């Protein structure tokens, strides 16, 4: 179980438990996806103060190193009238190369962060808690090579009141996922 990895991500202010018993801590699309994902047993959830969901505040209060925390950003772009979306996973120490790597991978003229209301509506998740687990079918999940190689990482749960813990390499196993070597910028 991933909760065995909890000591690797910081002091034990977080009570990690199986996602199977933590449904109230998961956004509905996340819970639905985990119910059918063979790797779900390798994912743990912990309740947090929703006021501390933003990465910097979370890492500081809970003692989780930024290099053990990964952010999910929803990016959008358009080509020939077709709107495309993708989720990008980068370490909290980095930022996604939206107008370089992401734009090329989406094959759009210009890529930008999706507006908050649009990201929330399309994902069925809370802003500040969006995760690549349980995204709409067909969305690419672009995982930076740094996240995939990080070992245990803390990510969103779809809600601001909890976080997930899993090995970053598992994110490359999500539907539509691709590990991208040059996705991150420092």
H-type alpha helices, the chain: 28-36, 55-62, 103-106, 116-123, 145-148
Q: Stretch 26-51: mean pLDDT, rounded? A: 96
Rounded CA gap, 177 and 181, in Å?
13
pTM of the model: 0.92
Q: What is the CATH number of the domain that holds 62?
A: 3.90.960.10
The answer to whether 157 and 72 are in contact (CB under 8 A) is no
Can you give the pLDDT at residue 23? 82
Can you give the pLDDT at residue 2? 53
What percent of the chain has pLDDT above 70?
94
Number of separate domains in the chain: 1
Can you give the pLDDT at residue 5? 58
Can you give the pLDDT at residue 185? 86
pLDDT tens sequence across 110-128: 999 999 999 999 999 999 9
Q: Stretch 76-101: mean pLDDT, rounded? A: 94
Q: Is 14 exposed, middle or buried (0-12, 13-18, 19+ CB in 10 A)?
A: buried
Q: Which domain holds residue 37?
A: 2-185
């Amino acid at each position: 179980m991933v909760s065995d990895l909890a000591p690797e991500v910081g002091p034990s202010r977080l009570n990690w438990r199986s996602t199977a018993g933590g449904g109230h801590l998961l956004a509905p699309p996340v819970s639905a996806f985990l119910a059918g994902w063979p790797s779900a047993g390798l994912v743990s959830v912990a309740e947090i103060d929703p006021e501390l969901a933003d990465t910097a505040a979370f890492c500081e209060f809970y003692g989780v190193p930024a290099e053990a925390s990964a952010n999910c950003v929803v990016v959008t772009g358009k080509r020939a009238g077709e709107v495309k979306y993708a989720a990008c996973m980068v370490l909290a120490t980095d930022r996604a190369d939206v107008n370089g790597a992401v734009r090329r991978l989406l094959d759009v003229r210009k890529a930008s962060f999706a507006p908050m209301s649009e990201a929330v509506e399309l994902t069925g998740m809370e802003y500040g808690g969006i995760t690549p687990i349980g995204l709409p079918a067909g969305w690419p999940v672009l995982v930076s090579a740094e996240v995939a190689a990080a070992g245990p990482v803390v990510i969103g749960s779809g809600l601001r009141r909890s976080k997930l813990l899993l090995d970053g390499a598992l994110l490359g196993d999500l539907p539509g996922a691709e590990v991208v070597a040059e996705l991150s910028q420092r």
